[in-house]
Copies of this chain bind each other. A is one copy, B any other.
Amino acid sequence: MSIQKLVNQVIMRNENFIETAEELKPQLHETIVKPTSIVAIKADSEAIHGWSSEVVAPASTLSDSEFGKNDLFVLDFGDHQVGYLSLKIRPAGSPPDAPLKLKLTIGEMPVEIAEPFENYKGWLSSSWLQEETIFVDVLPAVITLPRRYSFRYVKFDVIDTSPKYQVVFESVECRAVSSANINTVQKISHQDAELQRMDEISIKTLADCMQDVFEDGPKRDRRLWLGDLRLQALANYETFGNNELVKRCLYLFAGVPDDKGKVSANVFVAPQLIADDTYLFDYSLFFVATLHDYYVATNDLETLKELWPTAYRQIEVALERLDENHILKDSSDWWSFIDWQEGLNKQTPSQGVLIYTMKQAILLAEELNISEKDNLKARLEEIVEASKTHLWDKGQQFFISGTDRQVSWASQIWMVLAGVWTKEENNKLMKHLLAENPEVGIATPYMYHHLVEALLVSGEKDRAIEEMKSYWGGMIQDGADTFWELYDPNNKDFSPYGSNLINSYCHAWSCTPTYLIRKYAL
């Protein structure tokens, strides 16, 4: 476990930017969704996490049953939902002479329904596990739970009624919410059914993460992270085209930089806009990337002009970390995300991110026709050359990272995306990477996205599709309704948090297949 806690974080609020972001706050679309089935969650050694769902009866039969002390049932909403639950409950038998005590367990995956949350021992807060214990003093009642949940399954444990009465659940429904409008998406009919399905699930994943900001995961952490935003925005341009929401998110980050001008890795929007005290080298630079992509998608010159200083400042701050050889200093207190991969050295992939975003910054500076472009170009040339000199291992034909000269997938991928070598050289490097398969691999869909894009930009389209099919296709095989935060085909119980109960099973950074399919015409 490793977290960043700053004691002396100083935030320079830009009230104009914050006001612009506030004005762009979207109206949420609401849809009433009813459960489809009553299901049983059964132990199943073939299924992911060891649990599968089995239909017991249509949900429409629910109101035929009376439930008393220790009775339970599980409802399946048929697909992933993000929204608010409401329950219509009436008593059966004598007048209710004691409150109803009801426990709800709300899960995206069967494992969350089957395995007791009490057993959770991970290092992220257990408060993310979705459950409620409610007391109903007066029956009949319509109970509208005030919190938003992210789920497909809901387990109802009737803890107690009284010996004199039972309860009937007349209706259970979800008021699903999203700022995405599904009608704005141009449907595709892909001849490859697997890619077609991948496109659909990507879009569902993105929609469920599109709330009043682009959230990373509607179950956890429910907030705006820059690294996730960049990928969501890319998927959004190809689908929902909700460009105002991207703009809003850019203004949110730009509204609360620190006293050095750095944007934080994530922001909270309630009770008001707050910059988290987590700063990540790569995520700050992705402000540049996200602004770049936004401008390419919209040609919104006014926003570019207003946000350019924020973007440029991220490059300036990043450049301060270069040593005399124009290489990023590596250290033990190094905060760059790149991937959850255990033991990954972040130096070279971060150097790749710097080069990648500097190129985007130069394009934006050219668009603005401002003098910074010349300085950026000069610095870029030095950095690219230095990377070839100091980070490229001719013998191994790989980029190395850190004092231990680590060869990781991430280093090669980011250097390819950064375009340090030519397309042909990159193609050779990617093939070499796939063939050699260095030990320090890829842990997250976020990094898999970059692998696939690196394959695509280096001309390995077929291999890119193959990787997508084995990875996101694997999730589909394993029952994904939306794409997951984490997926390791070789260790399906993987969680960087100490328990897969707390993993998010609808996660923004996994939504990119629709972008990859549509952008690269796969």
Chain A residues near B (Cβ < 8 Å): 1, 3, 5-6, 69, 93-101, 123-128, 132-133, 135, 137-141, 147, 159-164, 220-221, 223, 268, 270-271, 274-277
Contact = CB atoms under 8 A, between A and B. Distances in A.
Given A94-B6, A274-B95, A127 B101 contact: yes
Given A95-B274, A98-B220, A98-B221, 4 more contacts: A95-B268, A97-B223, A100-B127, A137-B270
Given A5-B164, A6-B94, A276-B94, A137 B126 contact: no
A161 B97 contact: no
A364 to B, nearest CB: 30
A162 B223 CA distance: 15
A6 B93 CA distance: 9
Given A133-B133, A138-B271, A147-B135, A161 B125 contact: yes
A167 to B, nearest CB: 11
Contacts of A138: 270-271
B126 A160 contact: yes
B221 A97 contact: yes
Contacts of A1: 163
A332 to B, nearest CB: 19
A501 B99 CA distance: 16
A147 B100 CA distance: 13
B123 A99 contact: no
- Of the listed residues A138, A161, A162, the one surrounded by the most CB atoms of chain B closer than 10 A to its CB is A162
Contacts of A161: 125, 127
A5 B93 contact: yes
Given A3-B163, A161-B125, A95 B277 contact: yes
A162 B97 contact: no
Contacts of A124: 98, 162
A147 B220 CA distance: 29
A162 B125 contact: yes
A290 B5 CA distance: 67
9 contacts: A98-B221, A99-B125, A101-B126, A101-B127, A124-B162, A125-B160, A127-B160, A133-B133, A135-B147
Contacts of A160: 125-127
List the 4 shortest-distance A-B pairs measured between CB atoms, nearest first.
A98-B125, A101-B127, A125-B162, A99-B127
Contacts of A6: 94
A478 to B, nearest CB: 27
A221 B277 CA distance: 50
Contact of A127 (B3, B98, B220): B98
A271 B147 CA distance: 25
Nearest to A221: B97
Contacts of A268: 95-97
- Of the listed residues A96, A97, A126, A220, the one surrounded by the most CB atoms of chain B closer than 10 A to its CB is A97
Contacts of A128: 98-99
B271 A127 contact: no
A221 to B, nearest CB: 6
Contacts of A270: 137-138
Contacts of A159: 126-127
Contacts of A127: 98-101, 135, 159-162
A135 B130 CA distance: 10
